[in-house]
Amino acid sequence: MISKGMFEVKNTYDVVVVGGGLAGICAAVSSAREGAKTALIERYGILGGMLTSGNVYPILGMVSEGTIYDEVAELLGADSAEKIVSGNGREIPVDVEKAKSVLLKFARDNQVDIWLQTPVVEAQMEDGRLTGVLVGTQEGLKCLEAKVFIDASGDGQLAAIAGAPYEIGRAGDGKCQPVSMIFTVGGVDPEIGQVVNGRSDKMRLPDGTLYADVCEAANQRGELPPNVTIVRLHRSCYPDERNVNASQANGYNTLTADGVTAAELDLKGQIDQIVTFLRKYVPGYEKCYVKSSGSTLGVRETRRITGECTVTDEDVEQGRKHPDVVVHNAWFKIDIHNPAGGGQAEKYAQPCIPYDIRYGSLVPLKVDGLLTAGRCISGTHRAHASYRVMGICMGIGQAAGIAAALCAEKNCVPRVLDVREVQKKLTQKGVDLGL
Ligand SMILES: Cc1cc2nc3c(=O)[nH]c(=O)nc-3n(C[C@H](O)[C@H](O)[C@H](O)COP(=O)(O)OP(=O)(O)OC[C@H]3O[C@@H](n4cnc5c(N)ncnc54)[C@H](O)[C@@H]3O)c2cc1C
């Protein structure tokens, strides 16, 4: 942590959002639309987070009508595409190359001050309140101050360095979901090349064998990497492409540079083997080739910042509704990729009933002047396995952005903000909160 005055203050804002993934973009745009002078700080050279730098799609997960999710989905071309609904609910395939410019323009058109290639490395604290972030720039280390911050870094890095408590992984052994390198293959025969969402899909090859069994058998023969027991093949925007969610590596600590580098090496090395498997065993994929892959590995789970309240197992399993709701009817299966082996931790992704996310799960304990958004909010390991998908993260981002702008306007910290003010703003925008 740093103290005030240690570094030059480069700029001062009402709201600073750290992390330009979909949660951060939605937070920054929502804050700026409330009239707050807002900055969005991103360590890489593009916005979009896992969607763009991780090559991760389709956008999964649903929330109630009227949120910023609807707007972003339309911007990314969902309305012109065939409406796809599978066992995963609504799926939005995305042209990642287009998304890179569309999302940047979306933030800029909404008067967000964008800082690309600007990693946040430290927190400036004053009496338990976060008042600035230290960023690495070409001119050296500089400080950006703000009335309110939103940690949308995925890893909850800002909250952690500011001293907020957090949990990692599942209860008992603390193991996290595995990391993956997502890649897209072209050259697929659109008529024959099937789509497979997971082990629960009962896709059969022409000779009647269950595809999932073919994957398992190839894994046992060593024709697929050690923990790759299912090769998921998602639709892309283009008929001859599939997005391949298959590579998997367990046990790396991606909160360290060593862990990230080792995981990248492991995962990049798995791509060839998976493509060879597809060409050899899966009809329609005989001529497939790698068209693109993530420019960074995909991290499903790290810190969950402990908040004033928590999204619980019961919330997602029983579809609980709450009076302090800020995201209503969040829905996605409890999708736990196995932290200790291949496939799913619970054999299949488990059902979930549309549930509410409460304001307090965005408000970290111990640190004032800070909200969280996206996959790092407060929740249990199982609940996180549902709300971590991009559709829900956008709804969380919108709520956080509006709350932060309100705090800046009222000169109060998020912990004391009356949630009814956030709900009023959301409802005025047409968001159904079920109230
Ligand atoms: C392999 C994999 C497959 C997935 N498949 C799907 C899927 O098919 N559909 C779906 O909807 N979801 C999927 N998910 C989940 C989803 O992609 C993520 O959980 C979601 O993108 C999280 O959004 P976010 O905005 O919270 O974080 P992210 O998208 O991770 O964005 C965080 C941003 O913060 C930036 N950042 C981090 N630290 C700093 C810092 N110190 N300074 C500045 N910037 C920083 C990062 O560079 C990044 O741009 C998948 C995830 C993985 C890993």
Q: For a pocket test of ligand 1, which of 90, 299, 390, 392 has the largest count of ligand atoms closer than 8 A to its C-beta?
A: 390
CA dist 26 and 24 (Å) reads 5
Alpha carbon distance 402, 28 (integer Å) = 9
Ligand 1 centroid to Cα of residue 389, in Å, is 9
**Whether 195 and 155 share a structural domain:** no
181 CB near ligand 1 (under 6 Å): no
Atom of ligand 1 nearest to the CA of 50: 29
- Backbone phi, then psi, for 303, in 5-degree steps? -75, 140
388 and 280 housed in the same domain: no
The predicted model gives 286-298 an average pLDDT of 97
* Interatomic CA distance for residues 249 and 106, integer angstroms: 34
Name the residue of 50, 96, 242 whose CB sits within 8 Å of the most ligand 1 atoms, as the mutation to test its pocket: 50
**Would you tell me how many other CB atoms lie within 10 Å of the CB of residue 173?**
8
Q: Determine the pLDDT at residue 322.
A: 98
Protein residue with its CA nearest to atom 14 in ligand 1: 389
Pocket mutation for ligand 1, best pick of 26, 56, 260, 392 (most atoms within 8 Å of C-beta): 56
Whether the per-residue pLDDT at 33 is higher than 90: the answer is: yes
What pLDDT band is residue 87 in, cutting at 50, 70 and 90? confident
Ligand 1 centre distance from Cα of residue 249 (Å):
17
Query: What's the CA gap between 206 and 191, in Å, rounded?
Result: 13
The confidence score (pLDDT) of residue 73 equals 95
pLDDT attached to residue 198? 83
Query: What pLDDT does 77 receive?
Result: 87
Say if residue 23 is in the same domain as residue 165: yes
Half-sphere exposure of 162 (CA within 13 A, CB side): 33
Q: What DSSP string runs through 181-192? A: --EEEE---TTT
SS3 424: helix
Among candidate residues 299, 322, 341, the one where a domain is terminated: 299
Q: Three-state SS for 390?
A: helix
What local confidence, expressed as pLDDT, does residue 307 receive?
98
The stretch 48-54 carries a mean pLDDT of 98
Atom 49 of ligand 1: nearest residue by CA position:
49
Question: What's the sign of the alpha-carbon dihedral 343, 346, 351, 357?
Answer: negative
Secondary structure class of 137 (helix, strand, coil):
strand
- On the question of pLDDT at 80 being above 90, the answer is no
User: Which of 259, 277, 299 lies at the terminal end of a domain, its last residue?
Assistant: 299
Mean pLDDT of the chain: 96
Q: Say whether both 115 and 240 belong to one domain.
A: no
CA distance 331 to 383: 11
Does the C-beta of 33 come closer than 6 Å to ligand 1?
no
Query: 342 lies in a domain?
Result: yes
The parent domain of residue 189 ranges over 179-299
For residue 235, being part of any structural domain is answered with yes
- In sequence order, the 6+-apart residues with CB closer than 8 A to the CB of 243 are 55, 57, 58, 93, 182, 183, 184, 233, 234, 235, 236
Report how far residue 376's alpha carbon sits from residue 149's, in angstroms, rounded to the nearest whole number.
Answer: 14
What is the whole-number distance in angstroms between the Cα of residue 49 and the centre of ligand 1?
A: 5
**pLDDT per residue as tens digits for the range 400-426:** 999 999 999 999 999 999 999 999 999
Residue 82 in this model has a pLDDT that exceeds 80: no
pLDDT at 413 (0 to 100): 98
- Closest Cα partner for 319 from 351, 355, 361, 356? 355
User: What domain count does the chain have?
Assistant: 2
Q: Is residue 2 part of a domain?
A: no
Asked which of 176-180, 287-291, 347-351 is least confident by mean pLDDT, the reply is 347-351
Report the atom number in ligand 1 closest to the C-alpha of 397. Answer: 25
341 & 319 share domain = yes
Does ligand 1 have an atom closer than 6 angstroms to the CB of 178? no
pLDDT reported for residue 83: 79
In a domain, 433, yes or no: no
What pLDDT score does 126 carry? 96
pLDDT of residue 197: 86
Last residue of a domain, one of 257, 277, 299: 299
**With bands split at pLDDT 50, 70 and 90, how would you rate the model's confidence at 216?**
very high
Residue 184 buriedness (CB in 10 A; 0-12 / 13-18 / 19+): buried
Would you say the CB of residue 60 lies under 6 angstroms from ligand 1?
yes
**Domain identity same for 34 and 65:** yes
- The span from the CA of 30 to the CA of 403, in Å, is 9
Least confident of 78-82, 135-139, 238-242, 371-375: 78-82
Q: Is 390 in the pocket of ligand 1 (CB under 6 A)?
A: yes
Percent of the chain with pLDDT over 90: 92
* Amino acid at residue number 95: D
pLDDT at residue 310, as a whole number: 98
Residue 81 has pLDDT above 90, yes or no: no
Cα dihedral value 269, 275, 276, 282, nearest 10: 150
- Mark whether 270 and 388 lie in a shared domain: no
* Centre of ligand 1 from the C-alpha of residue 22, in Å: 8
Distance 368 CA to ligand 1 centre (A): 24
* pLDDT at 78 exceeding the cut of 90: no
**How far apart are the C-alpha atoms of 310 and 167, rounded to whole Å?**
11
Beta carbons of 237 and 95 less than 8 angstroms apart: yes
Distance 346 CA to ligand 1 centre (A): 23
299 lines ligand 1 (CB under 6 A): yes
Question: Is the pLDDT score of 225 beyond 90?
Answer: yes
431: which 2 tokens? 């968001």
Query: 381: domain CATH number?
Result: 3.50.50.60
Sign, CA torsion 160/106/291/392: positive
Q: What does the pLDDT read at residue 200?
A: 81
C-alpha pair distances (Å), 236 with each of 29, 112, 200, 264: 27, 30, 20, 24
CA of 358 to the centre of ligand 1 (A): 21
- Please tell me whether residues 240 and 338 are part of one structural domain: no
Query: What confidence category does residue 372 fall into, taking pLDDT thresholds of 50, 70 and 90?
Result: very high
Q: Is residue 91 located within the same domain as residue 211? A: no
Question: 68, 390 in Cβ contact below 8 A?
Answer: no
Structure tokens at 414: 């998020």
435 in a structural domain:
no
> In angstroms, rounded to a whole number, what is the distance separating the alpha carbons of residues 155 and 271?
25
* pLDDT tens string 130-160: 999 999 999 999 999 999 999 999 999 999 9
Q: Do 384 and 261 reside in the same domain of the chain?
A: no
Domain assignment of residue 434, yes or no? no
Contacts of 274 (CB under 8 A, 6+ apart): 224, 225, 228, 231, 244, 246, 247
Identify the bridge partners of residue 196 per DSSP, sorted by sequence position: 233
Q: Which atom of ligand 1 is closest in space to residue 119's alpha carbon?
A: 42
Q: Is the pLDDT of residue 79 over 80?
A: no
| Under 8 Å between Cβ of 330 and 354 | yes
Ligand 1 atom with the shortest distance to the CA of 59: 11
Tell me how far the alpha carbon of residue 435 lies from the centroid of ligand 1, in angstroms.
30
Q: Quote the ligand 1 centre to 137 CA distance (angstroms).
A: 23
Q: Is 246 inside a domain boundary?
A: yes
CB of residue 393 inside a 6 A radius of ligand 1 = yes
- Note whether residue 195 is domain-resident: yes
3-state secondary structure of 160: helix
**Residue nearest (by alpha carbon) to ligand 1 atom 45:** 19
Same domain, 158 and 52: yes
- Same domain for 242 and 316, yes or no, is no
Q: Is 99 in the pocket of ligand 1 (CB under 6 A)?
A: no
